[in-house]
Amino acid sequence: MSGLEGSLDGIAVVDKQAGWTSHDVVAKARGIFGTRKIGHAGTLDPDATGVLLLGVGRATRLLRFITPLRKQYSGEMVLGSETTTLDASGEVSATYDMAAVQPQQVAEAALAFVGEITQVPPMVSAVKVGGQRLYELARAGKEVPRAARPVTIYSLGVTPLDAQAGVYRLQVTCSSGTFIRSLAADIGTALGGGAHLRALCRQAIGSFHISQAKPLTSVEILPLAEVMRDYASVIVSNAVANRVANGQVLTVDELGATGTGPWAVYGVDAELLAVYQEHGVARVKPCVVMAREHR
């Protein structure tokens, strides 16, 4: 397999197929790459397809920086029916006559969800309540109160695919933690009826786009330096690199950082050395150190 030469440290941009859980993909990847040191950034529902990022080797230590990046999704919203899971995998729980709803009305209803909104996590989600994942409680036939959580919808495009049948394409750019199935259901409610989601595909996580993604059996591991490409970066001299490798607290000027961080710190050879963050006034400290001492 291409991309496996050298050290198994880096990130793999997988195009997840439908029917696989994110955990299934990780388990399969461990067999393919011959290492257990693999994790994923951002769960995808089993029925969803698209970008799933896998951290391999030392990159697993950096996945927490990938998870908060903006996400892009496409999916199909079906007006007129609600399901127990808010998507096509569930049983129909309610139906509505929404034949009179026009595309302009759908676009106007969707516009109200752009910006900062709150969502109640679905019972079929992986969110934990009282130490248990909601989908585990749902499988046991339990429903528990869930607190609404703030999320941000940066953009929301709605295109009729079959207006007569009430099927619309959703194109969503959103913050981490947004439930697209909940968004579709809420738009349906705002139109005076109901809706559910189908054919969800994650198009991007940050700059990692589906155009780069490959099936797990042919995926390549991108270099470790690529993991932090969506963050501000600095390149340091060998002298500073040695201090970074030792995890030293530095001044902002010593690191050469601007802005608010976190900053990916690279050596002159483009090796990712560490990730630094603010530490008091005009000082910075490492939150992850990747490199050994440079000589």
Residues in the chain: 295
Q: What kind and span of H or E run contains 38?
A: strand 38-41
Cα–Cα distance, 59 to 285 (Å, whole number): 19
Residue type, 210: I
Cα–Cα distance, 291 to 6 (Å, whole number): 16
Name the packing angle between helices 180-190 and 103-111 (round to 10°): 120
Cα–Cα distance, 283 to 277 (Å, whole number): 9
DSSP state of 86: S
Q: Give the residue numbers annotated as catalytic, written as ranges.
A: 45
Residue type, 160: P
Cα–Cα distance, 224 to 8 (Å, whole number): 9
